[in-house]
Amino acid sequence: MNEEIIIAGFGGQGVLSMGKILAYSGIMQDKEVSWMPSYGPEMRGGTANVTVIISDERVSSPVLNEFDTAIILNQQSMDKFETSVKLGGILIYDGNGITRHPKRKDIKIYRIDAAEKAAETGVAKVFNMVVLGGFLKIKPIVKLENVIKGIEKSLPARYHNLIPLNEKALKIGMEYIYEVNIN
Amino acid sequence: MKELKLMKGNEAFAEGTIRAGADAYFGYPITPQSEVLEYLMAVRPYETTGMVVLQAESEIAAINMVYGGASCGKRVLTSSSSPGISLKQEGISYLAGAELPCIILNVVRGGPGLGTIQPSQSDYFQSVKGGGHGDYKCIVLAPSSVQEMYDFPKLGFELAFKYRNPVLILSDGIIGQMMEKVYLDEPTPRWSEEEVIKNSPWATTGKVVDRERNIITSLILEASIQEKHVIKLYEKYKVIEENEIRYETFQCEDAEYLFVAYGSSARICQKAVQILREKGIKAGLLRPITLLPYPKKAINDLSKQIKSIVVVEMSMGQMVEDVMLAVECKIPVNHYGRTGGVIPSPKEVADFMMQKIKGE
């Protein structure tokens, strides 16, 4: 197993921490992982993205130009990364704020209205966990129990009371992701 | 039982210095290495091991604090990124002249000048061909993983004290900012005062009755004595070259085409090797771990089975000169580089080698 993922959106959406939790989940499942953020000037108030690789073998390049899965959370990222999905790969996006929807027919496209579903829980901040849940439904590369362990490792102990809420958000994501057919 | 953590390269380096028994860190913030100082300030080793963590008023102050600490036989270090390392060069030259052991981490960003905050490898010449003034060399280590960022403080102190020489750890923005698995080993305790005196009998630890005064200086006004001193330094560098060359090979056994790359470029080339192997091209990779001393002989030996070499660097071509010297013009050596903070993709690196193979 070698899964190469890009997660891209606005700074503040929890893109980097979602990647970190995914990487930690991989470690909990005895996988090799890497997490490489964009840390350029564009992060400051603009877009943020992170490349996460989860693999059975030692990760070679942490920097890639094409991905098995792209998780896209704003329009700028859609413009930049739709073309970077490998043939037959997967694109997951949140429709919120998207004006030009993905068009590729040679990949599988899934949509998750995570901003909306997160708001319904009353804590909009779990947005990124709803997205992660959706991804894990489509690509169950790590078990839910290991994701919970990953969250425990990523969050300072003072926030551990929020773990049940995050678990709930993951499950919401798993429930509400759906495939989009491009005709 | 080793502890397993997911850490950024900069954080792993900082943790590595604490666990290597460092006595003091002197630094000044600059992207992309600020996490070193941030991590140390958050972990507060001064409350546990007693390690001093100090944000100096400038990079120049920090390197001179390193000079002071090292003079006393302490295990001290500093870190910065390219423009800050340029500021430190005077101090590094003095440290080398006075034969003081220390670690200097450079998390390289694009230049010249203030440049960009994104990753680069354009400080190779500065690191291995001098940097500061005078006839001197630093030992230069090039980590290519977060684990090595953790491991190299310990290795760096070992080498620095074995040879009484500054050790430069040449990293870059990718290795500093990325997170990977790190295995943390048992901490090495800081040296006691007795151990400092035993391990560094040359240090200024206080005059005792039955020995000569220890003097730490790089000022030797008498030309003939200065010459002797420099010759002695170069005898030491020769011993370092005989004993401390480190490198790693990847799929070189049957390789016909070779990448030579260090640091994050070596990781990118490893993926390029996989891409080329899938197309039936017998590619391999040699990754220098020590950039000084340089694995000249290993590259020369490999050149007997290799048809051509591609050197990949995030620069306009610096290490490529050392590879050319190593192969003594026996086979073609090409360079592929991106610069100014642009990171090459594994595919473009693989494509470049394909082009060169077809062009032959």
| Contact yes or no for B286/B312 (Cβ under 8 A) | no
Q: How far apart are CA B141 and CA B43, in angstroms?
A: 26
In sequence order, the 6+-apart residues with CB closer than 8 A to the CB of B307 are B256, B257, B331, B357, B360
How much is the average pLDDT of A47-60?
95
Structure tokens at B320: 């490529």
> Which pLDDT score is estimated for A125?
92
Residue of A nearest to B341 (CA): A40
Look up residue B26 and give its amino acid. F
Token pair, residue B78, equals: 């500093």
Orientation angle between helical segments B146-163 and B223-243, nearest 10 degrees: 130
Residue A56: CB atoms within 10 A of its CB come to 10
Q: Residue A35: its chain B contacts at CB < 8 A?
A: 6, 178-180
pLDDT band at A177 (very low <50, low <70, confident <90, very high): very high
A39 has a pLDDT exceeding 80: no
Q: What is the DSSP letter of B308?
A: E
Residue A44 has pLDDT above 60, yes or no: no
Domain range summary for chain B, segments of one domain joined by +: 3-195, 247-359
- For residue A68, pLDDT over 60 is answered with yes
Contact criterion met (CB < 8 Å) for A40 and B117: yes
Mean pLDDT for all residues in chain B: 97
B343 contacts in chain A (CB < 8 Å): 63
Homologous superfamily in CATH for domain B3-195: Thiamin diphosphate (ThDP)-binding fold, Pyr/PP domains (3.40.50.970)
Mutate to test the interface with A, among B30, B267, B273 (most CBs of A within 10 A): B267
The C-alpha atoms of residue B39 and residue B23 are separated, in whole angstroms, by 16
Tokens of B260: 């030579």
Tokens describing residue A158:
């003072």
pLDDT score, position A41: 66
Report the residue of A18, A63, A84 to disrupt the B interface, i.e. the one with the largest count of B CBs within 10 Å. Answer: A63
Give the list of residues 6+ apart from residue B65 with CB closer than 8 angstroms, or none: B24, B26, B54, B56, B76, B78
How many A/B residue pairs have CB atoms within 8 Å? 72
Task: Tell which residue, B12, B205, B125, has the closest CA to residue B3.
Answer: B12
Q: Check residue B44 and give its pLDDT.
A: 98
Reported in sequence order, the residue ranges of chain A that DSSP labels E, i.e. its strands, are 2-10, 32-37, 47-55, 67-72, 85-93, 108-111, 178-180
Is the pLDDT assigned to residue A45 strictly greater than 90? Answer: no
Residue A43 in this model has a pLDDT that exceeds 90: no
| Mean of all residue pLDDT scores within chain A | 93
Give the CATH superfamily of A2-180.
Pyruvate-ferredoxin oxidoreductase, PFOR, domain III (3.40.920.10)
Which residues from B are below 8 Å from A when comparing CB atoms? 4, 6, 31-32, 116-118, 173-174, 177-181, 264, 267-268, 270-272, 274, 341, 343, 345-348
* Identity of the residue in A24, A41, A64 whose CB atom sits nearest the CB atom of B345: A64
Partner B contacted by A153 (CB < 8 A): yes
Cα–Cα–Cα angle for B39, B20, B144, rounded to 5 degrees: 70
The predicted-structure confidence for B205-231, as pLDDT tens digits, reads as follows 999 898 899 999 999 999 999 999 999
Fold of B247-359: Rossmann fold (3.40.50)
- Report ipTM for this prediction: 0.93
The DSSP H or E segment spanning A101 is none
Tens digit of each residue's pLDDT (9 = 90 or more) over B261-318? 999 999 999 999 999 999 999 999 999 999 999 999 999 999 999 999 999 999 999 9
- Assess A122–B contact: CB distance below 8 Å, yes or no: no
**Tens digits of per-residue pLDDT, B175-211?**
999 999 999 999 999 999 999 999 999 999 999 898 8
User: Quick one: CA torsion of A109, A142, B273, B117, rounded to 10 degrees?
Assistant: 80
